[in-house]
Structures are given as C-alpha cells and as structure tokens.
C-alpha cells in the first residue's frame, strides 16, 4: 500500500498539470495557411499584409480550419487569455470565410445591405452553433475589456489593422497585441499620421472610443505607444478604405 501512495500522488499531480494547460486549438493548419498566403506588400499606396484569397480558396487546409472551428467547444477554454486568443482567431477566420464564400468581391460590405449588413449575417459555426461577426466582436470580445483587440481583429479591408501572419496564442498574446498596436500606429496611411501638433488617427479610435476610456483614454492609450507633442490635437479622421485587403 505504501508503494501505491507515491504513484497515486504522481498521477494526481500529472492530472492537475494537464488540466492547467491551455486548451486552445491546434492552430498548425491556420499557421501554415497564414505563412504561405499572407505577404507584406505595398498596395494602393498603403503598406499592408496582403491576403491571397484566391489561393486560400484552393488550399485544402482551409476547409479543415473551418471544420475545426465548427467542432471546437469554447467551454474548454479556462481563462480570459485563452478566450481572447481563440475568439480573435475565430473572428479573423470568419471574416476570411465571409469573403471566400462570396468571392470575388470588391469589399466585404458588398455582401450585406443597409437593412441587413454583412456583420449581422450568419458566417459559420463554432461548436456547431451559427455565429455572426457582430456576435463575436460585440457580444464576446468587447465585453472582455481589452481594447487592443481592435488592432487584432481584421474585417478584410485595406484600412483594417493587418492580418497577422501567425495565429494568436495564449503564450504570446500580450506581445502579439502590443506589436499589432505599435505597427498600426506606425503606419501613417491607416493608423496614425502626425502633422506637427495635429494627430490624425484611424476612425477605429472614434468608433470604439468608449472601449479606450473616452477621449482622454484614447490619448493615454496612444501615448503608451507613441510620443505625442505637448498640446497636440487628436482627430480620428483618416479615410477608411473598405476595399478588400487581398486578391
């Protein structure tokens, strides 16, 4: 009996260690897809990550990714970091799916109309349940209180933050989100453009101002990543280009 006790304790410790591990999906197919079909390019006088939708549509990994998402249960996710990384990836995959399901098209917004915009249309399934882009963004991600998501989720458009060339993961999430924000603010064409004491930013900072803590919160958020001139004004008025971010 005494010999069995150490074995029992070892079993329990291994079981606990396993339960503490991240339950995020195996994103290997998605990682390979992004690596192969997303490239840094200059298009329409804008530096961005360009998505080869026509090639993704023919890639056998794509259907596996969609099926994986449809079968995965978010109930396995144990904490906010796991949920954040999962749903950021899920949003980006679903936005790509919306484009691919309607390919070719000039803008993701062309899928919808004024009465029934694309964001409210069923795009795919998670855990066997139909979802919309609005549900993922506004009912799941935004209530988690992490404003950096707005620089990670990508609505398949030129002026969106770049689709990252790798999946978001629990282990790297903070670094990935900070890098996304920094890169976006360093892109003068769509993130932040400084003209003397006048700061012009993406309309994202206006659309979701409350998520940053209001007008003062927006300034404080930007200053975490960029040095702003004393007394500078901030206007979230850069033209937003809704053309699709790939071919």
Report pLDDT for 1: 52
pLDDT mean over 158-173: 98
Report pLDDT for 23: 82
Q: Are strands 198-201 and 233-235 parallel, antiparallel or unpaired?
A: parallel
The reply to whether the predicted model has a pTM over 0.75 is: yes
Report pLDDT for 21: 55
Tell me which of 16 and 115 has the higher pLDDT.
115
Give yes or no for residue 114 having a pLDDT over 60. yes
**What are 78-108's pLDDT values in tens digits?**
999 999 999 999 999 999 999 999 999 999 9
């Amino acid at each position: 009996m005494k010999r069995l006790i150490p074995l029992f304790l070892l079993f329990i410790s291994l079981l606990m260690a396993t339960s503490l591990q991240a339950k995020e999906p195996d994103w290997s197919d998605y990682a390979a897809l992004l690596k192969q079909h997303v490239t840094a390019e200059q298009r329409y006088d804008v530096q961005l990550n360009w998505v080869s939708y026509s090639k993704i549509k023919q890639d056998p990994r794509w259907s596996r990714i969609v099926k994986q998402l449809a079968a995965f249960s978010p109930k396995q996710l144990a904490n906010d970091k796991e949920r954040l990384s999962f749903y950021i990836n899920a949003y980006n995959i679903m936005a790509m799916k919306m484009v691919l399901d309607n390919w070719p098209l000039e803008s993701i917004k062309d899928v919808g109309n004024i009465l029934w915009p694309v964001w409210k249309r069923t795009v795919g399934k998670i855990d066997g349940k139909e979802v919309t882009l609005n549900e993922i963004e506004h009912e799941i991600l935004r209530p988690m209180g992490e404003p950096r998501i707005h620089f990670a989720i990508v609505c398949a458009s030129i002026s969106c933050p770049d689709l990252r060339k790798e999946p978001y993961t629990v282990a790297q999430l903070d670094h990935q989100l900070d890098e996304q924000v920094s890169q976006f603010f360093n892109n003068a064409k769509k993130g932040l453009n400084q003209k003397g004491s006048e700061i012009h930013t993406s309309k994202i900072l206006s659309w979701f101002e409350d998520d940053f803590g209001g007008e003062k919160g927006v300034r404080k958020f930007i200053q975490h990543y960029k040095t702003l001139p004393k007394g500078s004004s901030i206007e979230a008025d850069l033209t937003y280009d809704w053309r699709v971010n790939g071919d």
